[in-house]
Structure 1
């Protein structure tokens, strides 16, 4: 990994230098304002310090004579004897945002002459013996048993959940019936939640009993019953498409799900079919390639693009796009377990005017992960869910599970990379038929 520090007048200058030196796959690790120049503390100029990194070698670069601020990530080794200031740049190679924050804080401390040798194993705790013994007190404040207690509580919660599911499973034991078993297996192969499958099959048997349906049940009867049940709770509650009165459409979601390409598809539809004046805003400056990708689509569609680096830039961006009928806002896919990023995104979504927020999810994601992602994003005002990469999977049960668990309004589904063609409004009836169809006899 290569890491480089830039001191520039503005973020666009930094982006240009990063692209030139590190390539489009570079990642911005940290930015902060600094003061430079001047005389005796006066007449200083405001600058921006940007730390960027890339996993690959810079274009056309050679390994000799790395420029100032560049360092190669060291491999894990024995404890280092000294920590000179020149080694601080290598510390920025850490990928986690939390580590980047710690490194930024570390820059403000003076040089440390030497690092103490590794400490021997801690002796048994003894009573404090005067002021000198009080120094390590903060490290001993947290009880050693806290992690174990937390693990035990987690295990107890898991056991409780497991027993709850087991009791429900036993309560819903389905009598043996060839047609029921066939459709049940089909739903499980589509990754529909097993408990939901049992509930669906239980309802099938209740309907068969009430209708005095002859045994064994036919596959047609079971399919009709399951289809009717799925339609009942998957029925859309509102408009799937972008509303005509919406002026801003926010797109949120994890990285790699295709938010930028999806925005380009929907923007092309609005421009070509609905003849609306469209504009782009992107806050995904974490990835250099994301800005370049949206800039390319903006050029093709002949629409303006505004790049914002913080919520403070939003008012200027909206002012520059005040003549637009509809504004698409692309956001970065970051670690939304981190409260700092949650607050930042929340501020970005608090835009004036009529707006909608679309959660973008990939159908290639395991439902367990999809559920965690949706839970994390549910702290924002989610209006609709949009699914991508339908062409890369044959399992669609996650759609059923997500609607059942979160009650989100469905919108679009993307089934390819072609702009603007490979996207359409989700058809629940057709999706249910795809889930229930026999894939072994296509």
Structure 2
């Protein structure tokens, strides 16, 4: 038996070569799909491997070469196999052999699979015929895979290359988003933005880039993060003192500038909005605190009431009943002492519409800001006001606080001049300060 192996692009090519080399009596022993060429085992082109054979007598044109001695059958071989192996096998000359001698191990029924001239290798059979053929052990070669066009192959190779590059990127530098956008991440860390929040923003920016099929660059990440910060800082209500507000309470730790802030806002209400304003102060713990507010009251020509306990509030409200707006200055107490905070909450009882402003200094560490806000939020807090904006280069605490506690932004003070150095918070200005020197186009 003469056996030969072919590697071709399609079955028609294989049939043509088999007919040319082995003749029309050749038998296909096996077919399978393989890959050849490519780079490091990838991107190889699909081909079909075909093993064909022809009886030695047919290949020699009817002449009968010298038969070889029959090989003894193994002791445990099946009867059919023993009978088949007992038949003489024709041998070719050594220079004509392409493979070592192969015994006839195929069942006799497989001889019906000889290649016919002008006929396909495998003919489609009805389902019942296919099942019967399978039970009878007839060999049916599998259908050859459809040949892809050059364009399909090109797209497939590009897709595989992209997957490979993504894997390499993850292995070499994908352990941290910091390797992808170092300038943005470092800038946000310098502004003391919560690192977990930074990772969330960068991850979301990467997802947006993939959805839009755009390259994930620093410019793209910067635009995405700006929008995400704006979404956190967006105002759901009025930032300034509402026209219907009758009492505005100001609470916060010591040294944040509550009294000066009250003077600035009172001057704005008197000079700009022409409202009649009054002062109440309970800050009797700090030396000269009452005198400081009394000085501002004299300059603005507004009344001032001093209370020493919650019981004095009713008298103070009655004395200022003709005022359109009352500013209440509370004492700065140790925010870690819950008893002091509870005492302060007792002073926040008021008559009519009121708003409570938490006053925080931008020079305070965010860890302390978070603790302060956590204690005060046990009671009624409406808005947050930041002071000393001009004394810091770090503004990430504003974003952290709004994200963690959901407080409404109100005013930002950036100096000690009364009444000039205070304004309503501009979210876009905060974003520009945080994202300074980063590409946004």
Distance change in 2, residues 1:231/1:173 (3 Å): farther
Distance 1:403 1:340 in 2: 26
Question: Residues 305 and 316 of structure 2 are in contact (CA less than 8 Å); yes or no, is this contact kept in structure 1?
Answer: yes
Q: Does 1:394 align with 2:396?
A: no
CA distance in 2, matches of 1:175, 1:242: 42
How many equivalent pairs are there?
266
Alignment of 1:6-45 (within 5 A): none
TM-score after normalising by structure 1: 0.59
1:173 Cα deviation from its structure 2 partner: 4.8
Offset of residue 439 of structure 1: 8.6
Q: How far apart are 1:344 and its partner, in Å?
A: 1.8
Task: Give me the whole-angstrom Cα distance separating, in 2, the residues matched to 1:290 and 1:278.
Answer: 19
1:60 aligned residue: none
Q: In the alignment, what sits opposite 2:329?
A: 330
2:248/2:354 contact within 8 Å kept: yes
Query: Aligned-pair distance for 1:177?
Result: 5.0
Q: Structure 1's 338 and 189: CA in aligned 2 closer, same or farther, altered over 3 A?
A: closer
Q: Which residue of 1 aligns with 2:382?
A: 383
1:306-355: CA deviation from partner (whole Å, max 9, x where unpaired): 00000010111111101100000000011233343233211110111110
Q: Is the 1:173–1:198 contact (alpha carbons within 8 Å) kept by the matching residues of 2?
A: no
Alignment of 1:57-72 (within 5 A): none
The within-5 A match list for 1:37-436 is 173-175=175-177, 178=180, 180-214=181-215, 217-436=216-435
Q: Do the aligned partners of 2:183 and 2:438 also contact (CA within 8 Å) in 1?
A: no
Instruction: Tell me how far apart the structure 1 counterparts of residues 405 and 375 of structure 2 sit (CA, whole Å).
Output: 12
**Structure 2 counterpart of 1:150:** none
- Residues 359, 385 of structure 2: 8 Å contact kept: yes
Structure 1 residues 439 and 300, CA gap change in structure 2 (3 angstroms) = farther
What do the CA deviations read for 1:257-280 (whole angstroms, capped 9, x no partner)?
A: 000000000000000000000000
- Say if 1:209 and 1:174 are closer, same or farther in 2 by CA, change over 3 A: farther
Separation in 2, partners of 1:380, 1:350: 11
When the two chains are superposed, the root-mean-square deviation of aligned CA atoms in Å is 1.6
TM-aligned CA distance change 1:402 to 1:346, over 3 Å: same
Contact 1:174 1:202 in 2 (8 A): no
**Inter-partner Cα distance in structure 2 for 1:351 and 1:332:** 17
Q: C-alpha distance in 1, partners of 2:339/2:182?
A: 49
Q: 8 Å contact 1:358–1:384 — kept in the other structure? A: yes
What's the CA shift string for 1:328-387, capped at 9, x where partnerless? 000001123334323321111011111000000000000000000000111110000000
**How far apart are the structure 2 equivalents of 1:282 and 1:192?**
35
- The SS at the match of 2:201 is helix
Q: Which consecutive residues of structure 1, in runs of 5 or more, have no partner in the other structure?
A: 1-171
Give how far 1:205 is off.
Answer: 1.0
- 1:90 aligns with none
Q: CA deviation at 1:207?
A: 1.1
Kindly tell me: are residues 173 and 283 of structure 1, through their superposed partners in 2, closer, same or farther at Cα, counting changes over 3 Å? farther
Q: Deviations over 1:293-315 (max 9, x none)?
A: 10100010000000000001011
Query: How many Å separate the matches in 2 of 1:392 and 1:417?
Result: 11
Deviations 1:49-94 (A, max 9, x none): xxxxxxxxxxxxxxxxxxxxxxxxxxxxxxxxxxxxxxxxxxxxxx
Alpha carbons 2:366, 2:397 under 8 Å: kept: yes
Q: Distance between the aligned counterparts of 1:278 and 1:337, measured in 2?
A: 32
Residues 240 and 424 of structure 2 are in contact (CA less than 8 Å); yes or no, is this contact kept in structure 1?
Answer: yes
Deviates more, 1:334-343 or 1:385-394: 334-343
Is residue 252–residue 330 contact of structure 1 (8 Å, CA) maintained in 2? Answer: yes
SS of 1:349 mapped into structure 2: coil
Q: What is the distance in 2 between the residues matched to 1:173 and 1:307?
A: 60
**In the superposition, relative to structure 1, how do residues 191 and 313 fare at CA in structure 2: closer, same or farther (>3 Å)?**
same
Q: Report if the CA contact (8 A) 1:174-1:201 is conserved.
A: no
Counterpart-to-counterpart distance in 2, 1:430 and 1:340: 38
Question: 1:418, 1:356 → 2: CA distance?
Answer: 24
Q: Deviations over 1:93-123 (max 9, x none)?
A: xxxxxxxxxxxxxxxxxxxxxxxxxxxxxxx
Q: What displacement does 1:251 show?
A: 0.1
Give the whole-Å Cα distance in 2 for the aligned partners of 1:279 and 1:313: 16
